[in-house]
């Protein structure tokens, strides 16, 4: 067990009346029902070491395990990490996140994150989101590269959160997917939620999915891969990766939803180190000045190398 967590065990006795798990634990622990539900959905609560749903009714003899994080005083430290800054003023900073970098500190990544770098270069961050996510209004997966905006002022933070909620920010991505897509354009509208079989994954096969819209267009087709431009209509967790996998064209190099870690061209093989997904363009209205802003991130070398291989250059 990580030193950042502790486990509480509750055993169901004969005296315990049958109730939904979330209701039962709210009464037993004094926690709110919503907080219990979040712990169940993220598999921090298990019954007999197995993941269950909130509606599960505990039986006599069941062992309920609750994993909780130990709250520790943690200070975000500035680190002189090399990142590209597209724009910076007293309210926001727009940066290029390299693949392999986590956005904010978490278990297993206490340092070396994008926020450590932003704090070093800007010397300030918004208070909203403290202690470890100050100014974070959206994020990219660790193995996704590209352009991001971070608030370094509270007023800018809350305005940007509103922009994202109202879908007033334009986000364009480039990705390379497995297989040749025949159509020129398409739209995927499957709802996305937690997988019912693996709570660490997202899925379109879920009872609690939220609306998700992904629009794609073919930029270039190859024998067994396709280079796509993608526009997000919503911003669900792992949205592009889940949606592309759902139509049989997972993102190349995606270890979770596709597992296509190699691509063939004739007798040659190209091995991928990470998912071929890049946040290329971000456009929004400045949250304070009202100025229209747009930022473009150059396609990273590993994705360009993959395209060159597919083009046989």
Locus of tokens 């029902």: 33
CA angle 277, 255, 270 (to 5 degrees): 70
In sequence order, the 6+-apart residues with CB closer than 8 A to the CB of 203 are 192, 193, 194, 195, 196, 197, 209, 242
Which tokens hold the place of 127? 């208070």
Locus of tokens 């379109």: 204
Give the span between the Cα atoms of 97 and 296, in whole angstroms: 12
Q: Quick one: which of 277, 55, 291 has its CA closest to 177?
A: 277
DSSP structural state of residue 106:
B
Catalytic residue among 22, 62, 141, 153: 141
Strands 277-285 and 145-151: parallel
Active site residue 22: no
Query: Which residues does the annotation mark as catalytic?
Result: 141
């Amino acid at each position: 067990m990580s030193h950042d967590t502790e486990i509480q065990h509750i055993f169901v006795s004969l005296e315990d009346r049958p109730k939904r798990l979330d209701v039962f634990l709210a009464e037993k622990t004094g926690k709110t029902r919503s907080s219990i539900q979040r712990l169940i959905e993220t598999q921090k609560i298990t019954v007999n070491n197995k993941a269950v749903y909130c509606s599960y009714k505990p039986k006599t003899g069941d062992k309920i395990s609750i994993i909780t994080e130990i709250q520790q005083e943690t200070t975000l430290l500035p680190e002189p990490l090399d990142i590209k800054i597209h724009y910076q003023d007293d309210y926001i900073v727009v940066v290029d996140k390299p693949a392999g970098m986590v956005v904010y500190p978490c278990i297993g990544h206490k340092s070396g994150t994008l926020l450590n770098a932003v704090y070093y270069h800007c010397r300030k961050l918004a208070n909203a989101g403290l202690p470890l996510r100050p100014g974070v209004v959206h994020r990219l997966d660790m193995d996704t590269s590209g352009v991001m905006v971070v608030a370094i002022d509270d007023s800018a933070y809350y305005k940007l959160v509103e922009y994202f909620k109202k879908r007033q920010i334009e986000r364009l991505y480039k990705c390379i997917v497995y297989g040749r897509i025949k159509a020129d354009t398409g739209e995927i509208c499957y709802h996305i939620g937690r997988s019912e079989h693996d709570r660490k994954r997202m899925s379109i096969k879920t009872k609690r999915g939220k609306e998700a819209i992904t629009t794609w267009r073919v930029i270039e087709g190859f024998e067994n891969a396709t280079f796509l431009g993608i526009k997000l209509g919503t911003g669900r967790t792992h949205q592009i990766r889940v949606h592309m996998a759902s139509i049989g064209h997972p993102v190349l190099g995606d270890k979770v939803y596709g597992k296509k870690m190699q691509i063939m061209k004739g007798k040659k093989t190209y091995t991928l180190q990470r998912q071929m997904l890049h946040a290329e363009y971000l456009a929004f209205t400045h949250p304070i000045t009202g100025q229209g802003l747009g930022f473009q991130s150059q396609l990273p070398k590993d994705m360009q190398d993959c395209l060159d291989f597919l083009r046989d250059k």
